[in-house]
Structure 1
Amino acid sequence: MKTIYRFLCVSLFLLGIIALQGCAMFALHPERNPLPEQYVAAEGATSVVLESQDQLTLFGQWWLPEGQNKPRAVVLLLHGTIAHSGLYSPMANFFSRQGFAVFGIDLRGWGQSQGFGRNGVIGNYDEYLLDLDSAFAEVKARYPDLPLYLQGESMGGAIALLSQIEKTIEVDGLILNAPAVRPGLSVGPLSSPHWLSNFGLWTLSQPGKVFPNMPAFYHGKLVEHVGIGLLLKEEENQQAFHDDPFATHKALPLSYFTGLQDATTRVEEGLSDVHVPVLIQQGTRDVLVPVASSEFTLENLASDDKTLKMYEKITHATLHDRRREEIWADIVSWMEARLPADNATPSALTMQNDTSPRPNVP
């Protein structure tokens, strides 16, 4: 009997040690990831490598108008969750054909940029603002006198808004695509009320403070296919995402939700501090950011120049799927209407005569 008792005690002790080691792996801040062997620029882009203020290596890329003509303005692009700057290459090439320079950065922990642990590990969005500072410095070093528009999709939209609330950089306008201000799940006509979505996000955010690198949920191929199918309706775009080696194909960490909950709270409370011109583009069938979120954002912005443009039957991925070129053209028109006279050359002729191929990338 004593032998069995001792065996059970030793077994429980060993199991406890294993469990503690597993918890420590998720609880401790994960080590910074190694750098890739090589960087890969998207179609039509030129890559650059930046360093953040806290010594992370970040990947960025430029899309520039052809020829020696000076760009009319610069678009600084912040990607959304599970994405990276290269996914926006079709839009960036479209903008460059209209005379706009585009600089996209892979935020820390996404795409080809260095991070900690799995994709999406973050302490808070102040870390993303450090990345934005590095991207802003790159843009201003190259084009110090050009108008600058900051564009952010979903998570990137929240970062863009936060940069204006915290006054970290100065821009001439914001372009926000389904900005994650009041995120919440929607299924068909049913949308979770804000208080419930906020409570769910808060609940998910708490364990991330202790276990930042722990996966928040199971993620397999079936889960990815179903999820991407809700965001992208064209099969060719869905497949392009699944085949993209720099997109995120694994479960998000708990700290992703910790950072998002902190950011959405700060953005909600600080919208009245945003005074620059703002364009918001929102799909009516968005399953992650409801229409009510963008309506709330528009209503509470302090800017005198603010526009919310809705797109019927379009999902969360407004920039990557159906009617995408119409949406891109609306952005160009909005920027052109706000450019100084010397930069506001109409682009209609360029758009009409453009016959260059456009890759089917989401």
Structure 2
Amino acid sequence: MIIHGLSGHCQRYEELATELNKEGVLVFAHDHVGHGQSQGHSADIKSFDEYVQDVLQHADKMRAAHPGIPLFVFGQSMGGSVAILSALERPTLFAGVIVSAPGVIPAPETATRFRVSAAKALAFFAPRTGVARIEAHLLSRDTAKVDTLPLQVKAFKDDPLVFHGHVCARWAVEFLSAMERIQREVHNFRTPLLALHGDQDKMALIDGTKFLYQHTRRADKQLKIYPGVYHEPLFELEPDAQTARRDIVTWVVERI
């Protein structure tokens, strides 16, 4: 199961799905509410748990359709946070969790006391007020230039299914709350874990991924740090993107 990140959609992960398919792995995914082809207000959510419950419902349907087959989940960025919370809520659901640059600890320069207080006030009085947006140039360092833009950055900017507007104050507060919950409950995480992160990520704090890895009590866990890589390892320069895909595929196949 693939869980995409904020502003994205599931079709972006076709290359990963194709490589998993070649190993006989069935891949499924959905667009979060308010993302891609799903209905809902973009970048706004009343509760972060809505993402989690949608994942659990989808996973249950697929397990019922394919009984006895181990289920793995991959989540990118915010999707990684959703994957972690889903595994915390249902510890026996997944045979393994793979996260790439998950949101676990907010960046201190972003989540200042003033900014958090302001976001909470806006979330209460004007929940759909825009407070931030995805900076596409921070996603990938792909320097194969197309019309003066890095290839993957241009693909993100030109994708009609990607949301390019501002995230709402309520969404930001809900995401902060979700990260706080992960920090509180990480010691209960029991699922095999593969955690990936680029050491030049400017969007998700690498210390959060290290915190997740260090505090999970499962013996079967791996942490892979990619030198020079930005926020989305799967959409990076080659051979780094291929390395990340193969790391995921190999890890899954070894546990089937």
Structure 1: which 5+ residue stretches go unaligned? 1-75, 185-191, 340-362
Question: 1:78–1:169: structure 2 CA closer, same or farther, 3 Å change rule?
Answer: farther
Distance in 1 of aligned mates of 2:170 and 2:96: 30
* CA drift at 1:324: 0.9
1:159 counterpart residue number: 82
Match of 1:97 among 22, 25, 46: 22
1:146 counterpart residue number: 69
Asked whether the 8 Å contact 2:56–2:86 carries over to 1, the reply is no
* CA drift at 1:303: 1.2
Highest CA radius of gyration, 1 or 2? Answer: 1
1:54 counterpart residue number: none
Distance in 2 of aligned mates of 1:215 and 1:153: 23
Question: 1:126–1:329: structure 2 CA closer, same or farther, 3 Å change rule?
Answer: same
Distance in 2 of aligned mates of 1:204 and 1:286: 26
Distance in 1 of aligned mates of 2:20 and 2:37: 23
* CA drift at 1:302: 1.8
Asked whether the 8 Å contact 2:140–2:229 carries over to 1, the reply is no
Q: 1:129-150: per-residue Cα shift (whole Å, max 9, x none)?
A: 2211231133113322211101
* CA drift at 1:304: 1.5
1:213 counterpart residue number: 128
Distance in 2 of aligned mates of 1:285 and 1:131: 31
Asked whether the 8 Å contact 1:281–1:309 carries over to 2, the reply is yes
Distance in 1 of aligned mates of 2:54 and 2:227: 34
Equivalent pairs counted in the alignment come to 246
State the TM-score, normalized to the length of structure 1.
0.64
2:137 counterpart residue number: 229
2:169 counterpart residue number: 254
Tell me which amino acid in the other structure corresponds to 1:242.
K
Match of 1:112 among 37, 47, 60: 37
Question: 1:278–1:286: structure 2 CA closer, same or farther, 3 Å change rule?
Answer: same
Q: How does 1:1-362 map to 2 (within 5 A)?
A: 76-115=1-40, 117=41, 119-167=42-90, 170-184=93-107, 192=108, 197=111, 199=113, 202-203=116-117, 205-206=119-120, 207-217=122-132, 227-234=135-142, 235-322=150-237, 323-339=240-256
Structure 2: which 5+ residue stretches go unaligned? 143-149
Asked whether the 8 Å contact 1:204–1:258 carries over to 2, the reply is no
Root-mean-square deviation (CA, aligned residues, Å) is: 1.9
* CA drift at 1:213: 1.5
Asked whether the 8 Å contact 1:164–1:273 carries over to 2, the reply is no
* CA drift at 1:84: 0.7
Higher relative CO (Cα under 8 Å, sequence separation at least 6) belongs to 2
